[in-house]
Chain A
Amino acid sequence: MAQAARKSASKTAGKPKALSAKQQVALFEDMLLIRRFEEKAGQLYGMGLIAGFCHLYIGQEAVVVGMQSVLEKDDQVITGYRDHGHMLACGMDPDGVMAELTGREGGYSRGKGGSMHMFSREKNFFGGHGIVGAPAPLGAGLAFANKYQDRNAVCISYFGEGASNQGQVYEAFNMASLWKLPVVFVIENNRYAMGTSAERASAETEFYKRGVAFRIPGDEVDGMDVMAVREASHKAVSHARAGEGPYILEMETYRYRGHSMSDPAKYRTREEVKDVRDHRDPIELFRKVLIDAGHADEDQLKAIEKDIRARVAKSAEFAQESPEPDEAELWTDVLIEEAGQ
């Protein structure tokens, strides 16, 4: 592979650009939108309006919001099946996401993908993949295309600590490092792969070290602290953008809800979940940061909450009013048919 000359930035990456009060409040807003959206999705699931598998992101909001806060327009995002938060963080329309959850024409995939399979070329969101570990080589491939086309873009490939035991992840690590591909692998360690805790599934539970054999640097990050995520994201993305190859970020986070909607969560205690909610909740922690720093007051945040609840209620309404896809849709999008082919 020919090496494109790029200026080295990560050695001097330092801290990300300081955010204004308004920008910080926007991060709060982004996290809260995900939280309320997911709660609403859970409610609609409970009412039978959403079916199948539905993996909620509640508790992990700081990860995608912090990561996204340093990305540039052409950077790409790809993830697994717990993907609603990633889509909202990428700026995808909550109406379209919710309508896909209800399987309606107004959904991002016109109802043909569902919770686990949505995409947006416009927002550079590349899915939405249901096979555990798949985002690693697919993300490396997007990064390969960036490098091949000499685009100065970075791909963020998200997967969980459970996926980190898949063989294809290491195949991707090896090639990404060998060819110095501009990709950041974000391991969202929410501590449980479905019902199996990291300790019960992984010989090495410090997942940021998983790239050592491939000479990929890795950092452990408090995934419940949006500003800590932002700082780590800046470092990793700058490294990748400078042509120095992939980077691994292990996000210490927690999922409040079950693996999917039908998970009774008997593998952990209620106290454990409550303890995280009470002491490490990313939204409540950041609310305190904003207020203590004087970036916002309670009334302002209450107003934001009200707006978000209205926004989410609107998306739920859209998702129910949007019609089911036309029956003819069954046969479309199987192949691209070109005139003259």
Chain B
Amino acid sequence: MTDILMPALSPTMEEGKLTKWLVKEGDEINPGDVIAEIETDKATMEVEAVDPGVITEILVPEGSEGVKVNAPIARLTNGDDEAAAPKEKAKASDKSNAADDREDSGDDDNDKSARDDGHRLHRDQEADDNKGARVTSMRDPDLPEDTTYTETAVRDALRDAMAEEMRRDESVFLIGEEVANYQGAYKVSRGLLEEFGDRRVVDTPITEYGFAGLGVGAAFGGLKPIVEFMTFNFAMQAIDHIVNSAAKTLYMSGGQMGCPIVFRGPNGAASRVGAQHSQDYSAWYGHVPGMKVIAPYDAADAKGLLKAAIRDPNPVVFLEHELLYGETFDVPDVEDFVLPIGKARIRREGHSVTLVAHSRMVKFALAAAEELAADGIEAEVIDLRTIRPLDTETVIESVKKTNRIVCCEEGWRFFGVGAEIAATVTQEAFDYLDAPPLRVHQADVPLPYAANLEQLSLPGAADIVRAARKVCYVD
């Protein structure tokens, strides 16, 4: 004997009307037969039999309203014991009783336990955030005293990183628009086709959504793709695969499906290319758990962090800057120069104010620091290098020393990297602050084309100086 229960036919249904029986007592039914019609909170739906047997008794007559989910509505005999599902019934009704109890006794005790739960969750969250900070206590590799350096353009440092990793690991390949024959739209992949051939340096059609998805599939299939976007503006077409397919799958698969992939290319404003080619996506990608986000400034960091990104077993978004590609910096002549992901670099030490920046804004922060020094304000400049995981430890330590912070980014202010840092500092170093954290950022408008307006829109050293003087209360 099996009871047929009132089914929940939508995620929100708690009770419904049994509109019509399509079987009567004595009828033989088989799995899949429509036996009744039920009106839910959303629509009228059909109920199908799951178990075979003969209807012995109809417990709820048609037309009945307010029939609770999981209430028995009919009784069935069947000769097949395995088909019965007594266990499910028992458990389900236990569960619904428990739910009723909770609802009935909505008193202080229950409220308290809910609060406690929320609290615990919050603490776990903090523990996790701190873990991110602990991970970043790794240091850059110590270089020998006699290390020599070579002046290298950022684009060549990136190319060297890819070439070294491709030599080291056969499963690494580069795919994107104009990366092979054309030698890279910004010449970042210059020479790679010649060295590695068209199996490993793959020109794609103009099809960002498609090749981002294909790259993720290849990573699932055991390869380590470097997916180049001609600019991250075009990756808007591909952001679905970056977020939904690359970043979330490890979690959704309970840890089975890693996705070792690097999405890289220029990010942020170029020069006079208008609104659709000039956006900074640091905050967009930094928002998403399940991947890492890197935005280096100089050539050494570009090289050391890109090598680390390619070796990382997780999806990494690697944000370059078109206006830095041609700038040259010293890169140490050491074999296999790999830097830790998630560790900020203190570019200039100071005690008066902390300037936090990443990517090209580091340049302006350093320039601002020089100008401030002339007035006796010694700024500490922190280059974040990695947006996620964010090295909050280094920032907090600095603020404890300087008691003031200015967060600098090229992107918009709302929900930005600076907003996150300002909130974190306020939360974790509130007692050390002598002034509210300030943010320097792009004007809250799409980037204009006209030279004067573009300059007005983008943040620069002068904006940083102004903000720093303000938090130091110097006019």
Partners in one complex: yes
Residues of A within 8 A of B (CB): 1-2, 35-36, 39-40, 42-49, 51-52, 58, 76, 78, 107-113, 117-121, 126-131, 134, 136-146, 148-149, 167-168, 171-172, 174-175, 178, 256-258, 261-266, 270, 277, 306, 309-310, 313, 316-317, 320, 330-338, 341
CA distance A261 to B43 in the complex (A): 12
B92 within 8 A of A: yes
B460: min CB distance to chain A, Å? 35
Contacts of B289 in A (CB 8 A): 334
B446 within 8 A of A: no
Instruction: Check B223–A335 contact: CB distance below 8 A.
Output: no
B152 within 8 A of A: no
Contacts of B212 in A (CB 8 A): 137
Are A148 and B199 also in contact (CB < 8 A) when A39-B31, A108-B254, A112-B252 are?
Answer: yes
Instruction: Check A331–B124 contact: CB distance below 8 A.
Output: yes
Instruction: Check A320–B87 contact: CB distance below 8 A.
Output: yes
Of all A-B residue pairs in the complex, the 8 with the closest CB atoms, nearest first, are: A141-B217, A171-B210, A46-B7, A137-B213, A145-B221, A264-B43, A262-B10, A109-B254
B42 within 8 A of A: yes
CA distance A52 to B8 in the complex (A): 12
Are A168 and B95 also in contact (CB < 8 A) when A127-B253, A144-B221, A256-B32 are?
Answer: no
Given A39-B50, A137-B213, 8 new contacts (CB under 8 A) = A1-B198, A2-B197, A49-B91, A76-B221, A131-B240, A171-B213, A336-B258, A341-B312
Task: From B154-162, B241-249, B345-353, B354-362, give the one contacting chain A.
Answer: B241-249
B60: min CB distance to chain A, Å? 15
CA distance A320 to B89 in the complex (A): 11
B 138-158 to A, binary, CB cutoff 8 A, 1 in contact else 0: 000000000000000000000
CA distance A315 to B334 in the complex (A): 57
B205: min CB distance to chain A, Å? 6
Are A119 and B197 also in contact (CB < 8 A) when A126-B220, A168-B210, A264-B42 are?
Answer: no
Contact of B214 among A58, A140, A167, A263 (CB under 8 A): A140
Instruction: Check B91–A320 contact: CB distance below 8 A.
Output: yes
Q: Chain A: which residue is nearest B14 at the CB level?
A: A48
Instruction: Check B82–A313 contact: CB distance below 8 A.
Output: yes
Instruction: Check A175–B43 contact: CB distance below 8 A.
Output: no
CA distance A309 to B51 in the complex (A): 9
Instruction: Check A137–B210 contact: CB distance below 8 A.
Output: yes
Contact of B31 among A36, A110, A119, A128 (CB under 8 A): A36
A186: min CB distance to chain B, Å? 16
Instruction: Check A313–B83 contact: CB distance below 8 A.
Output: yes
A231: min CB distance to chain B, Å? 27
Instruction: Check B290–A334 contact: CB distance below 8 A.
Output: yes
Instruction: Check B8–A334 contact: CB distance below 8 A.
Output: no
Q: Chain B: which residue is nearest A138 at the CB level?
A: B217
B84: min CB distance to chain A, Å? 8
Q: Chain B: which residue is nearest A78 at the CB level?
A: B217
A-B pairs with beta carbons under 8 Å apart, 11 shown: A1-B199, A58-B32, A108-B256, A112-B251, A127-B249, A131-B244, A141-B215, A145-B218, A172-B214, A175-B210, A262-B11
Contacts of B253 in A (CB 8 A): 108-109, 113, 117-119, 127-128, 333
Instruction: Check B88–A316 contact: CB distance below 8 A.
Output: yes
Q: Chain A: which residue is nearest B219 at the CB level?
A: A141
Q: Chain B: which residue is nearest A119 at the CB level?
A: B253
Contacts of A139 in B (CB 8 A): 217
- From residue 60 to 95 of chain B, which have CB atoms closer than 8 A to chain A? 69-70, 80, 82-83, 85, 87-89, 91-92, 95
Instruction: Check A43–B7 contact: CB distance below 8 A.
Output: yes
Contact of A174 among B48, B70, B83, B207 (CB under 8 A): B207
B194: min CB distance to chain A, Å? 15
Contact of B313 among A117, A168, A306, A336 (CB under 8 A): A336
Are A121 and B256 also in contact (CB < 8 A) when A137-B209, A334-B290, A336-B250 are?
Answer: yes
A256: min CB distance to chain B, Å? 7
Q: Chain B: which residue is nearest A277 at the CB level?
A: B32
Contacts of A171 in B (CB 8 A): 205, 207, 209-211, 213
CA distance A18 to B2 in the complex (A): 43
Contacts of A42 in B (CB 8 A): 48, 50
CA distance A2 to B196 in the complex (A): 12
Contacts of A78 in B (CB 8 A): 217
Are A332 and B255 also in contact (CB < 8 A) when A42-B48, A48-B69 are?
Answer: yes
Are A129 and B220 also in contact (CB < 8 A) when A113-B254, A331-B124 are?
Answer: no
B404 within 8 A of A: no
CA distance A333 to B31 in the complex (A): 39
Among B202, B213, B217, B221, find the residue whose CB has the most chain A CB atoms closer than 10 A: B217
Instruction: Check A134–B313 contact: CB distance below 8 A.
Output: no
CA distance A167 to B205 in the complex (A): 14
Are A46 and B256 also in contact (CB < 8 A) when A138-B220, A334-B251 are?
Answer: no
Are A51 and B11 also in contact (CB < 8 A) when A140-B214, A331-B124, A338-B313 are?
Answer: yes
